[in-house]
Amino acid sequence: MENLRNYAIIAIAICTIAMCSTENAPAENKDYICRPADSLNTEHFIKQMSASNAKELSLSKLAKKRSRNSKVREYATRVMDACILANSDLAPFAILKNIKMPDSVTIDSDNSYTTLQQSGRADFDKEYLSMITDSHNQAIALLTNMAMARDTAISSFADKHLPVFRRHLDEGNYLSRHLHRKMKTS
C-alpha cells in the first residue's frame, strides 16, 4: 500500500512538470503556460532597456566617427541599427505605460560617453568594445528575464531581440580578441 501511494505521488509530480513545460504548449495558449513569477516589472524593464539602447546608440555614434578600424565602424553601425529597431519596438509599450524613453543625447548617467570621448586613439576601439559588450551583457540579462514574463507582448519583444543582442555580443567579443591579438603582434 505504501508503494502504491509513492507511485501516485511520483505520477502526480511528473504530470505537473509536464503540464508546466513550455516546450509542449501551443503558441496560442501562451497565457496559460506556467511561468516563473516576474522578478522585473514591465515599467522597470522599459526604462532600463530604453536607457541601455540610448547609451549604446550614443557610444556607437561616437565609435562610427572616431574609430580607425573599419570592422569596428561597421559593428557600431549594426549596433546602432539594432538599438533604433529595439527602441521603435519598445516605444508602444512606453506610450501605453506613459513612460518617457531617454534619447542618446540625454543619457550619460555613468559618464561612459565622456570616458570614451576622452580615450586616446590607441585605446579607443578597445574601450568602445569593452563598454558595448558590458552593456550588451546587461541587456541580455534583462531580455532573458522578460522572455519569461507573464505579459506575452513583452515576452515576444524579448524573444525577438535576444538573438540580435547575443549575436552582437559574440561579434563584439570576437572583435575585442582580434584587436588584442593585433596589438600584441604590432
Distance set, CA 133 to CA 58, 128, 138, 163, 175 (Å): 14, 9, 9, 15, 10
Dig out the grid coordinates for 27 from the structure: 503558441
- Of 84, 63, 58, 82, nearest in space to 73 by CA: 63
Residues 90 and 12 occupy one common structural domain: no
Residues 76 and 148 occupy one common structural domain: yes
Residues 65 and 135 occupy one common structural domain: yes
Residues 127 and 89 occupy one common structural domain: yes
pLDDT at 186 over 60: no
Amino acid at 150: R
End-to-end Cα separation, the chain, in angstroms = 77
| Angstrom distance (rounded) from CA 82 to CA 120 | 27
Q: How much is the pLDDT for 30? A: 44
pLDDT at 26 over 50: no
Dig out the grid coordinates for 31 from the structure: 497565457
The beta-strand segments (E) located in the chain are none
Residues 61 and 24 occupy one common structural domain: no
Residues 44 and 29 occupy one common structural domain: no
Phi, psi of 25 (to 5 degrees): -80, 135
| Angstrom distance (rounded) from CA 88 to CA 76 | 18
pTM of the model: 0.74
Residues 126 and 177 occupy one common structural domain: yes
Distance set, CA 46 to CA 40, 138, 163 (Å): 10, 14, 18
Confidence of residue 122 (pLDDT cuts 50, 70, 90): confident
Residues 22 and 78 occupy one common structural domain: no
**Residue 68, domain CATH:** 1.20.1260.10
Q: Domain residues for 27?
A: 1-34
Residues 99 and 16 occupy one common structural domain: no
Residues 50 and 121 occupy one common structural domain: yes
Residues 63 and 9 occupy one common structural domain: no
Count of domains for the chain: 2
Q: How much is the pLDDT for 14? A: 59
Task: Say if residue 154 is exposed, middle or buried (CB neighbours under 10 Å; 0-12, 13-18, 19+).
Answer: buried
Residues 88 and 177 occupy one common structural domain: yes
Where is pLDDT greater, at 35 or 70? 70
Percent of the chain topping pLDDT 70:
70
| Angstrom distance (rounded) from CA 176 to CA 179 | 5
**Among the ranges given (17-26, 58-67, 78-87, 174-183), the one the predictor scored with the smallest mean pLDDT:** 17-26
Dig out the grid coordinates for 162 from the structure: 535576444
| Angstrom distance (rounded) from CA 143 to CA 163 | 10
Q: How much is the pLDDT for 157? A: 96
Report yes or no: 134 and 176 within 8 Å, Cβ to Cβ.
Answer: no
Mean pLDDT of the chain: 81
Q: What mean pLDDT is predicted for residues 93-102?
A: 89
Confidence of residue 28 (pLDDT cuts 50, 70, 90): very low
